[in-house]
Amino acid sequence: MIKVCKFGGTSMADANAIRQVKAIIDADKSRKFVVVSAPGKRNKNDIKITDMLYKCYGEVVATGKCESFAVIRSRFEEIVSDLELDCDITAVLDRTEKEIIENKSADFAASRGEYLSAYVTANYLGAKFVDAADLIRFDSKGKLNEEYTDDKVKTILDGVEFAVIPGFFGKDSFGKIKTFSRGGSDITGSIIARGVKADLYENWTDVSGFLVCDPRIVPEAKTIKQLTYKELRELSYMGASVLHSEAIFPVMKGKIPINIKNTFKPEDAGTMIVPNEMHKEDNETIITGIAGKKDFTVIYIEKSMMNAEVGFIRKVLSVVEHYGICVEHVPSGIDTVSIILASDQLEGILSDLVSEIRENVNPDYVHVIENVSLIATVGHGMAKRSGTAAKIFSSLAEKGINIKMIDQGSSELNIIIGVANSDYEDCIRTIYRAFN
């Protein structure tokens, strides 16, 4: 049995948290590969090490020096001294500061948080330190080079009994350090899990799994016990933020389940994320989760006989593509189609975009609706039962919430509705309470 464990920033924030990490690792000998984030916030007003490192990079570019490194230095020195480690952290920090100044690279600077965190953790756990720079490789377009990376993970970690690996970065095709997007240590953990053919990828964080919806909106929201990869993809794309939305892909290929666990409540079962075939039927759960995002714009287009006009939707979408805009959803009717776009992409170009659509497809009517929120109600259970959509819509109608758009994914896994931004919270609360 092999488990890969990734510990997030709060689990690495100080010596106490790292002691907790050691207790978790010591409790189960199959926890052989440990991926760590940089130390995160110790309290609400604290600053994450990664943010400090980006600040250092800014200072290097502006002044050639990085005075903020002193804060990073003292955080790591404090951790090493509290854990009573016998390692020359001062020498490692001196070298790191010098390299940040010489490299003048935001990615290099940011990556050092995970590097130092893994160096200290490996020392404390008595494990081998394996640099992610030797394992993870991006291609010339900045995408993960899966073949190369898988091969390196397999060969370098083969025969290694117990290792700590920094998350968040690898090397680009020129051999320079490159990071994933923020929160990317989750992806590193997933890559390592696939590479070593782990039985389980444990992702240790500061919450006991995914909640059915945002607890700031629904304080009584329950924990999701089990999710499928597909459900997770829908929910995290729509804003559920426990796990990086791309972390699912590496383990998905290897069909390795992910268990989201709480470092500070290790006894909680957390959430299991599993492939479809491992999904256990549960007759009570119709809705797995509800997630949403604010600030979309809907361009509603009407034209008689649209359905008979070959290439109509393609022409509309090619205008949008010409502006370099990503399309979120395209719900359509017989003579209507709506294009849903994230509003932040449209600043300063919305009216030109709409005029160009008019010129290109000569519609009967075009209407723009701004300040729309999209809310996804996700669940495998929906496909097998009738009345789910009816329940959502009737509960919203009772509350007087106006639905501006409906889109049911063809997988029957997801019903997306659009409401005014001002109805966002109320809409999530209403759907949650209709099913719970």
* Residues that bind ligand ASP in the complex, under the rule CB under 6 A: 9, 37-38, 48, 50, 113, 167-168, 182-185
Residue 85, token pair as written in the block? 């480690």
Task: Give the nearest distance from C-beta 72 to ligand ASP in angstroms.
Answer: 12
Residue 286, token pair as written in the block? 């119709």
Task: Give the nearest distance from C-beta 253 to ligand ASP in angstroms.
Answer: 21
Nearer to ligand ASP, 50 or 226 (CB): 50
Q: Are 214 and 236 in contact (CB under 8 A)?
A: no
Nearer to ligand ASP, 10 or 288 (CB): 10
Nearer to ligand ASP, 103 or 345 (CB): 103
Q: Are 61 and 71 in contact (CB under 8 A)?
A: no
Task: Give the nearest distance from C-beta 7 to ligand ASP in angstroms.
Answer: 10
CB atoms within 10 A of CB 310: 6
Task: Give the nearest distance from C-beta 234 to ligand ASP in angstroms.
Answer: 22
Residue 95, token pair as written in the block? 């070298």
Nearer to ligand ASP, 12 or 378 (CB): 12
Q: Which of 419, 423, 389 is nearest to 403 (CA)?
A: 419
Task: Give the nearest distance from C-beta 65 to ligand ASP in angstroms.
Answer: 23
Nearer to ligand ASP, 187 or 306 (CB): 187
Cα distance between residue 57 and residue 428, in whole Å: 40
Neighbouring C-alpha atoms within 13 Å toward the C-beta of 416: 22
Nearer to ligand ASP, 13 or 60 (CB): 13
Nearer to ligand ASP, 37 or 105 (CB): 37
Q: Which residue has the tokens 């189609």?
A: 337
Nearer to ligand ASP, 184 or 379 (CB): 184
Q: Which of 239, 375, 372 is nearest to 298 (CA)?
A: 372
Task: Give the nearest distance from C-beta 177 to ligand ASP in angstroms.
Answer: 13
Nearer to ligand ASP, 113 or 363 (CB): 113
44-69 exposure pattern, b = at least 16 Cβ within 10 A, e = fewer: eeeebbbbbbbbbbebbeeeeebebb
Q: Which of 307, 322, 308, 405 is nearest to 359 (CA)?
A: 322
Q: Is the dihedral of CA 302, 308, 309, 312 positive or negative?
A: positive
Task: Give the nearest distance from C-beta 107 to ligand ASP in angstroms.
Answer: 11
Task: Give the nearest distance from C-beta 11 to ligand ASP in angstroms.
Answer: 10
Determine how β-strand 336-342 pairs with β-strand 327-329: antiparallel
Cα distance between residue 199 and residue 254, in whole Å: 9
SS (H, E, C) 105-164: CHHHHHHHHHHHHHHHHHHHHCCEECCHHHCCEECCCCCECHHHHHHHHHHHHCCCCCEE
Task: Give the nearest distance from C-beta 178 to ligand ASP in angstroms.
Answer: 13
